[in-house]
Chains A and B, each alone.
Chain A
């Protein structure tokens, strides 16, 4: 009886045992997945890494190894560290943009408050004598 070998055992040209460490994570219909991982880490290292993990964590580990291997193949100098660097830069830019936008909100809020105060005072002078007003009143809801 010849059960189909997993992608790893096919690649390594060996018999695929029933308890093959690779078989659940490197199915035969995706040979490229194991080829990637093998190129960067080597079969032996991948096998050791998977064996050191509990069974329920091996899928995620195999997926992350595949992802990192792909990154390294695409960018042989920086691998997925290049992506981390890009994300850090994007965070930095977004934080700057957010700070600028929040400053703009503060300016606009102040200018709107001053216009409202001016209008209120103008109307009061026009005819609403007797109502006391506090020109310095600033609704706290404008400011966060």
Chain B
């Protein structure tokens, strides 16, 4: 199964530690998280955006750290009833340091977040990614996500996005059809 779901933990660089974001240590980790994520964005998110997620759903944020506690990868997400309908998990940000890519780190981080979401009764999980982001699309598709729609000129740079959705429960399908609008007004 490892070929399908990302590398088995043993294939990951062994010096890496994966841990849930400890809210009490904001000053230790938040600057590094912001730094890592804004590397791939043309316009940074304000600290409010990070706190919006981390303060309310810090337990849905996972980090990969190397032996020196340097941040290598991070996923930030949330989970709440979507417009009074399904419990929807949403993966807001994901990044892995360039030199560490392609080793299954992001897959592992995303899976940790998804596992908690499922534990907390998620009906479905959604996210957006740029239509040219092959690595991210491949990662999510291998986990079972499907493209549900295309979002025209979604990003500030004029690029379009795909919305990816993963149904966790059969009930997700029977809940009222809604064309939900983008969650995270994007930057990239």
Do A and B form a real pair?
no
